[in-house]
């Protein structure tokens, strides 16, 4: 099939875009670390976190609190 999640078009798109995304995200992370940023938010449309400083990660604390 040409279209859909498993279609040829989607597979080709991923094949072409993923290497570029990896490079861009690596550059964002490197820059964020260089300037001491704790988070980078993509504000071009719906905000998406592109990098967060692991020191501000609080997921496990929230999970622990929810288990109580």
Q: What is the pLDDT of residues 54-65, one digit of tens each?
A: 888 888 888 898
Is residue 7 within a helix (H) or strand (E), and if so which, with residue range? none
Is residue 68 within a helix (H) or strand (E), and if so which, with residue range? none
- Rg of the chain, C-alpha, whole Å: 17
pLDDT digits (tens, 9 = 90+) for 1-49: 888 888 899 999 999 999 999 989 899 999 999 999 888 888 777 777 7
Give the global pTM.
0.63
Would you list the domain boundaries of the chain? 8-67
- Write down the pLDDT at residue 20: 92
């Amino acid at each position: 099939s040409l279209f859909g999640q498993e279609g040829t078009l989607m597979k080709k798109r991923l094949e072409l875009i993923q290497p570029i995304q990896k490079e861009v995200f690596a550059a964002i992370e490197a820059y964020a670390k260089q300037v001491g940023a704790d988070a980078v938010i993509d504000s071009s449309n719906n905000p998406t976190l592109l990098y967060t400083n692991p020191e501000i990660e609080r997921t496990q604390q929230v999970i622990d609190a929810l288990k109580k």
